[in-house]
């Protein structure tokens, strides 16, 4: 099911290009609309089954984390620039996911996962160029965003592992986040949704890059270790960069190309099954182990 995780990351990578269709819209308003639309769709898919899920208190905390991640990410980007904010937020997510799984489930990371994740984060940094003004508060907000992302992914994996349907778990988390983000959407202004281009953009971002992608991601979490899934999600900036070249006419520098190659190679290493040593068995659910 690693392909489902990669497929979700590919859809996430189209969000930036699609968002440019809604010209003149505040990024926070766009993100809020995306989460509200996607969350309502996922909640509708989940339906009444949400009430039968285990660990509902954990899911409430995860829903708040989903909404808080959006706010932390945009606050970080406004302080330290898109490149640095994106690298820190997205790049720290898999690291925090691995650490949380280690602390909560006592599952120690494999060396291959740790090395490939470090290389993938470095690839993201090279790919985005690492530009922008580096401010300590912006970096801390981006790291908090990475921690929040890791928390809600680990929480989702735990509830799914306890017997919850992945579609229902995602519906509960993102439906709750939609309720939290609705006031944000109204506060930042939702008038742009009355325009056909704005409405189509919000529907694509909500239905495809949120609802469909997280259904795929949740199904991937059924069999893929959570830290491995978090690392595979780093395919998102690679897809965004390729779309920038193919659709928006942007130029891929030699530095960005090198980062893309490093990132792709690292994700391939994470995606390949682990080789088991003769006479030894891998611990069940080990971070970075094969699914």
At residue 274, the pLDDT reads: 62
Listed in order, strand segments (DSSP E) in 26-130 are none
* Alpha-carbon gap, residue 217 to 271, rounded angstroms: 15
Cα separations (Å) of 33 from 158, 188, 215, 249?
28, 10, 18, 27
The residue ranges of every structural domain in the chain are: 2-20+27-271
Cα separations (Å) of 82 from 79, 188, 235, 273?
9, 20, 17, 34
**Crossing angle, helix 166-188 and helix 136-161, to 10 degrees?**
150
pLDDT at 192 over 60: yes
φ, ψ for residue 87 (rounded to 5)? Answer: -60, -45
What confidence tier does 66 reach under pLDDT thresholds 50, 70, 90? very high
At residue 131, the pLDDT reads: 52
Query: What is the sign of the dihedral through the CA atoms of 148, 151, 157 and 158?
Result: negative
pLDDT at 290 over 50: no
At residue 31, the pLDDT reads: 92
φ, ψ for residue 109 (rounded to 5)? Answer: -65, 145
**Among 235, 244, 242, which Cα is nearest to 19's?**
244
Least confident of 34-48, 77-91, 178-192, 197-211: 77-91
At residue 253, the pLDDT reads: 79
Name the more confident of 279 and 184.
Answer: 184
* Alpha-carbon gap, residue 202 to 129, rounded angstroms: 29
% of the chain with per-residue pLDDT over 70: 91
At residue 245, the pLDDT reads: 80
Least confident of 72-86, 97-111, 115-129, 211-225: 72-86
What confidence tier does 287 reach under pLDDT thresholds 50, 70, 90? very low
* Contact between residue 236 and residue 12 where contact means Cβ atoms under 8 Å apart: yes
Classified as helix, coil or strand, 83 is: helix
**Among 19, 147, 151, 135, which Cα is nearest to 77's?**
135
């Amino acid at each position: 099911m690693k392909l489902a995780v990669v497929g979700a990351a590919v859809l996430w990578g189209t969000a930036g290009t699609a968002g440019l269709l809604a010209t003149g819209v505040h990024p926070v308003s766009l993100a809020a609309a995306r989460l509200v639309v996607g969350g309502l769709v996922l909640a509708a898919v989940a339906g009444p089954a949400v009430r039968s899920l285990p660990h509902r208190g954990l899911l409430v905390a995860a829903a708040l984390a989903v909404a808080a991640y959006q706010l932390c990410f945009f606050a970080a980007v406004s302080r330290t620039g898109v490149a640095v904010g994106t690298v820190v937020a997205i790049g720290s997510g898999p690291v925090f996911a691995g650490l949380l799984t280690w602390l909560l489930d006592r599952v120690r990371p494999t060396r291959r996962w740790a090395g490939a994740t470090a290389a993938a984060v470095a690839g993201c940094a090279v790919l985005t160029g690492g530009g922008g003004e580096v401010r300590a508060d912006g970096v801390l907000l981006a790291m908090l965003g990475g921690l929040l992302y890791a928390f809600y992914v680990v929480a989702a994996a735990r509830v799914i592992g306890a017997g919850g349907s992945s579609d229902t778990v995602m519906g509960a988390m993102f439906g709750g986040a939609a309720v939290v983000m609705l006031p944000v959407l109204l506060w930042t202004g939702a008038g742009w949704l009355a325009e056909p281009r704005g409405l189509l953009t919000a529907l694509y971002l909500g239905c495809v890059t949120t609802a469909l992608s997280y259904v795929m991601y949740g199904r991937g979490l059924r069999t893929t270790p959570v830290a491995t899934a978090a690392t595979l999600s780093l395919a998102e900036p690679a897809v965004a960069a390729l779309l920038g070249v193919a659709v928006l006419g942007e130029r891929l520098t030699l530095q960005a190309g090198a980062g893309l190659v490093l990132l792709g190679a690292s994700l391939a290493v994470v995606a390949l099954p682990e080789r088991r040593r003769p006479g030894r068995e891998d611990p069940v659910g080990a971070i970075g182990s094969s699914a």
